[in-house]
Amino acid sequence: MPVILATIVITLLVGLLYINFTGPEKKVETEIEHLYPVEDPQFLRSMGLLMGPSILDGNKVTELINGDQIFPAMLQAIRAAKKTVMFETFIYWSGDIGNEIADALSERARAGLKVHVLLDWVGSSRVEDAIVDRMKSAGVEVRKYHPLTWYNLDRINNRTHRKLLIVDGEVGFTGGVGIAPQWTGNAADPDHWRDTHYRVEGPIVAQMQSVMLDNWSKTTGKVLHGRDYFPTLQPAGQQSAQMFASSPNGGSESMLMMMLLAITAATRTIDIANAYFVPDDITRRALVAAARRGVRVRIIVPGEHIDTATVRRASRGLWGELLEAGVQIHEYLPTMLHCKLMVVDGLMTSVGSTNFDVRSFRLNDEANLNIYDAAFAARQTEVFEADLKQSRRVTLQAWRARPFTEKLHEHALAWFGSLL
């Protein structure tokens, strides 16, 4: 009897793991053919019609470098809110910045505003109950995304990794930052991470609001709408943009397809800065193909300062074919690099929550802002190259010369990329 019971339990666990790490949709396996460059109008038509939401003109997106710029801007926007505040995040931990943001949200709720906060149940498990209770007592509606219950075990691995703050439906923020002490400061030491967030104005903010409200309605069953959430938005700048989202509940691999289309369209340059770079086979093939047709591909990843060492080892185990094709890989040295940035041909920039790994491409809810503007791309390239100066390039010779035990460990972990 004990053997039978153990067999049943093991079978159930294996089945649960399979369900959590696979989706109902067929995986993208066919490589996208290079048909046109990024500057071709057909590229924009494909990104706006084949891939996702419409590309809207009249936007202004401003980068915020590290916590010293990011958090003051977010707090200023929250404190200036007049009607609504929507906030969705993966990580919300205890600490001074968590308390400060909670106080700002609570003050606005007490002033009569509609304040909605969606925290990922796993990512925000380290926030003290007292912080959440304080917000709720002030009138903030706080909900957890996919909390563990017996009836949603098949969704336990589907997390919201999105980082979205929308104020009055007029000003938005997105990027890589979480609410935790590691993101404060100016990346001056290993205890304070390097990250970039983005302040957004213009018609594209309505798309950001829609992405946030989609998960809010799935979590609460409530549909929020009206002028307080979707006011008339006037042009705020000259940038064209679209807010791209993906979720296993609908379009689980749309983010991967968007990234692949951009990589495939490149004819000159691809710059990628990414915290968790564990690309699957088709993504590696796309990057290799780009390098072989003469595209300069530069990638910055975390060095020894990383919060998940297994991810770094798994990533390094996959670098061989990239380095052989001429892809440049650089490890950021001063601290943990948590950025999520891709700039293609100095024209398209994609920023947001998405990592180059299977979890982001197939399991998580993600959101990326695509900006189609040469001036913005040039500025992000400057930021990228500033990080590049603080990074060490990994050569093919050095990669091949690493110790055998290190190679074995990295190769083994690379097989489990979807679990990391």
Identify the helix (H) or strand (E) that includes residue 78. Answer: helix 66-79
CA distances from 202 to 116, 136, 172, 211, 336 (A): 22, 31, 9, 16, 32
CA dihedral 32, 210, 373, 389 (to 10 degrees): -80
What is the rounded distance in angstroms from the CA atom of residue 189 to the CA atom of residue 336? 9
Q: What is the CA radius of gyration of the chain?
A: 21
Q: Which amino acid is at 195?
A: D
Q: Nearest-CA neighbor of 70 among 84, 51, 89?
A: 89
Q: Which residues are catalytically annotated?
A: 161, 163, 168, 338, 340, 345
In terms of Cβ atoms closer than 10 Å to its own Cβ (0-12, 13-18, 19+), residue 256 is buried
CA 196 vs CA 70, 178, 270, 333, 366: distances in Å: 8, 11, 18, 17, 16
Is 319 within 8 Å of 297 (Cβ atoms)? no
Count Cβ atoms below 10 Å from residue 272 Cβ, excluding itself. 25
Contact criterion met (CB below 8 Å) for 128 and 97: no
| Tokens linked to 370 | 């695509």
